[in-house]
Chains A and B, each alone.
Chain A
Amino acid sequence: QVHLVESGGGVVQPGTSLRLSCAASGFPFSLYAMHWVRQAPGKGLEWVAVITHDGSEKHYADSAKGRLIVSRDNTQKILYLQMDSLRVEDTAAYFCARESGGYTFGRNAFDMWGQGTMVSVSS
């Protein structure tokens, strides 16, 4: 069975850090670019970051630059999102998603999504 399972969310105070994980199974993880997408409560989808299949390239939305860092461990089949200096506006459900096609990034659909993990930033 093909799966993406996020974890690591929680309630934290502004200025603190959190690391999200996305465990992949059922497909050759190392062949696919992976993305993080977030959704604030009652709002639409917002793309956050992408990492290429081999981790050689990473790109971020302006809202994430300098504070959110995407990484991956292809041996363990895990995608990460390190979130530093968290702000109230980072409160959202965070989804990991696979970009279809393999090897490429920046052109294909997100054909597989995790169930999401909720991050709440509040004082």
Chain B
Amino acid sequence: QSVLTQPPSVSGAPGQRVIISCTGSSSNIGAGHNVHWYQQLPGTAPKLVIYDNNSRPSGVPDRFSGSRSGTSASLAISGLQDEDEAYYYCQSYDSSLSVFGGGTKLTV
């Protein structure tokens, strides 16, 4: 069982908007630790798409956005494209140790 809880799968049609949730607890997200999001395509390394809850690294489309509230966070992807189909993982910290969500498969 992962420390952070994500839905196993979400889906959406091209052009639609989807939201992936990440639920933690008072010792990680609720303690004020930032949440980061990664995209992983099959057979490749994870790629950072959102850092510090709602910031995008250079090169990540503004279709990707994030938010954090209380003990949860979410990743929103609008204007879905076929290339967005991938696994997405949230990550935070718990007493300075990193923790990941179990991952969510996005099907477009």
**Which B residues are CB-close (under 8 A) to A73?**
none
CB neighbors of B among A32-63 (8 A) = 35, 37, 44-47, 50, 59, 61
B84-105 vs A, CB cutoff 8 Å, 1 = contact: the mask equals: 0001010101001111111100
Mark B residues whose CB is within 8 Å of A: 2, 33-34, 36, 38, 40, 44-48, 51-52, 57, 87, 89, 91, 93, 96-103
Please tell me the size bucket of the interface on A: 20 to 34
Consensus secondary structure, chain B interface? strand
Given the contacts A44-B103, A106-B97, A109-B52, A95 and B33 also touching, CB distance less than 8 Å: no
- Compute how far the CA of A95 lies from the CA of B91 in the bound complex, rounded to whole angstroms: 15
Chain B residues near A108 (CB, 8 Å)?
34, 36, 51-52
A7 at the interface (CB under 8 A from B): no
Once the chains bind, are A111 and B93 in contact (CB under 8 Å)?
no
Residues of B within 8 A of A45 (CB): 38, 40, 46, 89, 91, 100, 103
CB distance from A17 to the nearest CB of B (A): 24
Asked if A74 is at the interface (CB within 8 A of a chain B CB), the reply is no
In the assembled complex, which residues on chain A have CB atoms less than 8 Å from the CB atom of B99?
47
* Interface-lining segment among A8-16, A23-31, A77-85, A112-120: A112-120
